[in-house]
Amino acid sequence: MRRLLVLLFVASVIPSMAQTELRVTVDNFLRRERHDEPVVFPVSKYGDVRSAVVTCDGLEIPSQLDDLDRDGYYDELCFLVDFKGKGSKVYDVRLSSMDEQHQYAPRTYAQILLRNPKVKIKNQHDFFLTEISVPMRLKDPYHLLHHHGVAFENELTAMRIYFDKRQTIDLYGKRNKQLEIERTQFYTDDTQKEQGFGDDVLWVGNTFGLGAFRGWDGTQPVMLDDVDVRTQRIVSTGPLRTIVEAESRGWKVKDGFPRIKTTVRYTLYAGHRDADVDVFFSHDVSALDFSTGVINVKNSSEYNDGKGMRGCWGTDWPTGEKDSVGHKRETVGLAVYVPKEYIRKVCPVTKDNYGFVIGTDTRHLSYRIACASDNETFGFHSSAEWFSFLKEWGRSLDSPLKVRVDRK
């Protein structure tokens, strides 16, 4: 999802040049602290940008350039800002077509691994990919990939997206703030568990899991079953955010409607337990309904603010019953937020899901997902604490940063 930033671009289109100087003014209207809030704006209008340096009060802060459409040119600049309360800050940005981008400590990571049949240790597979596509005649792409799909993380949480018709988001809960997937590959061994690494904490089955995107047949969610080509890719993994996509080409949503291409983009920022979900369509889909939501974890308590946010806090086994040996029951907090312009119906609670019917009058819709694990040494340990966070998260969504970009 594109962050709800109010972008006021005063600079006109600038021809390609070696260097461009910008001044970025960021205003926070909330009377409370905000940390690692992303500032994102397009840079393609400034020519062939190859590097960026961002400073505040003369001190350089980490930044990230991303090529979203994979055409070899950077499209967006991202940096993260902190506020102690209501106020304004000014950042100086230098864009260059000559220099190389500075390297900063990584706070995110993404991974696609092809299963290597010669490797018997679950967290030592070595066929690394950045993108994979399979035709419909491959009936079981789920078992083609190690950890069954692209995995991505920041210091607080990690997720994976199943590479099959479900496209479900599964959750890896952490104990400590750190990057882990490169070492555990989503399958933590006993030694790593003793060292404080996290593990898979959610069983999702055929449910929404954590905010999966699905079709809707008028009565229930519909998986992305009849698809010509499935693709997963890592768009970006850098110091400040990781972006991954699940693409379905030639999806037959319903009889009588042309096959469409659907691209679901997930953006996870450093320091955040929420991720943006953007869905892009190749055709006008205003006549179609879709769905999303979160799994109804067993014995869970529900959160519903009546304004597009639904969540739960509950406890269950993180695996199927036959695979539960060596695991313990896991307690998690889950949530999805759908902006009101995309909500067509709030679904009754079922044994599987807390859901929404969603749709769009354009070729794009967006929503957000958030999660927590009771295992965290830095997080939440009760439904009251989790629901309190969701209320604060909602206030932040209602009061986005205001960003103004000027050419010096």
Predicted pLDDT at 319: 76
Contact 180, 153 (CB under 8 A): yes
Predicted pLDDT at 99: 83
Question: CATH 2.70.98 region(s) of the chain?
Answer: 108-377
Architecture per CATH, domain 6-104+400-407, reads as Sandwich (2.60)
DSSP, res 13: P
Distance of alpha carbon 371 from alpha carbon 314, whole angstroms: 12
Could you list the beta-strand ranges (E) of 63-138: 63-66, 76-83, 87-96, 108-114, 127-129, 131-135
Give the gyration radius of the chain's Cα atoms.
Answer: 21
Question: CATH 2.60.40.1180 region(s) of the chain?
Answer: 6-104+400-407
Distance of alpha carbon 178 from alpha carbon 236, whole angstroms: 19
- CATH class of the region 108-377: mainly beta
Distance of alpha carbon 382 from alpha carbon 376, whole angstroms: 12
Distance of alpha carbon 220 from alpha carbon 323, whole angstroms: 28
Query: Which residues have CB under 8 Å from 256's CB, separation 6+?
Result: none
The predicted-structure confidence for 92-130, as pLDDT tens digits, reads as follows: 999 999 889 999 999 999 999 999 999 999 999 999 999
Predicted pLDDT at 10: 41
Contact 235, 243 (CB under 8 A): yes
pLDDT tens per residue, the chain (408 residues)? 445 444 444 444 444 458 999 999 999 999 999 999 999 999 999 999 999 999 999 999 999 999 999 999 999 999 999 999 999 999 999 999 988 999 999 999 999 999 999 999 999 999 999 999 999 999 899 999 999 999 999 999 999 999 999 999 999 999 999 999 999 999 999 999 999 999 999 999 999 999 999 999 999 999 999 999 999 999 999 999 999 999 999 999 999 999 999 999 999 999 999 999 999 999 999 999 999 999 999 989 999 999 999 999 999 999 766 555 667 899 999 999 999 999 999 999 999 999 999 999 999 999 999 999 999 999 999 999 999 999 999 999 999 999 999 999
Angle at 82 between CA 371 and CA 313, to 5 degrees: 15
Question: Which CA distances in Å does 360 have to 32, 185, 269, 302?
Answer: 33, 36, 25, 26
Contact 241, 126 (CB under 8 A): no
Predicted pLDDT at 321: 61
Predicted pLDDT at 325: 61
What is the model's pTM?
Answer: 0.94
Q: What is the dihedral of CA 370, 373, 377, 382, to 10 degrees?
A: 90
Encoded amino acid at 18, one letter? A
3-class DSSP state for residue 143?
helix
Tokens 């983009």 belong to residue:
265
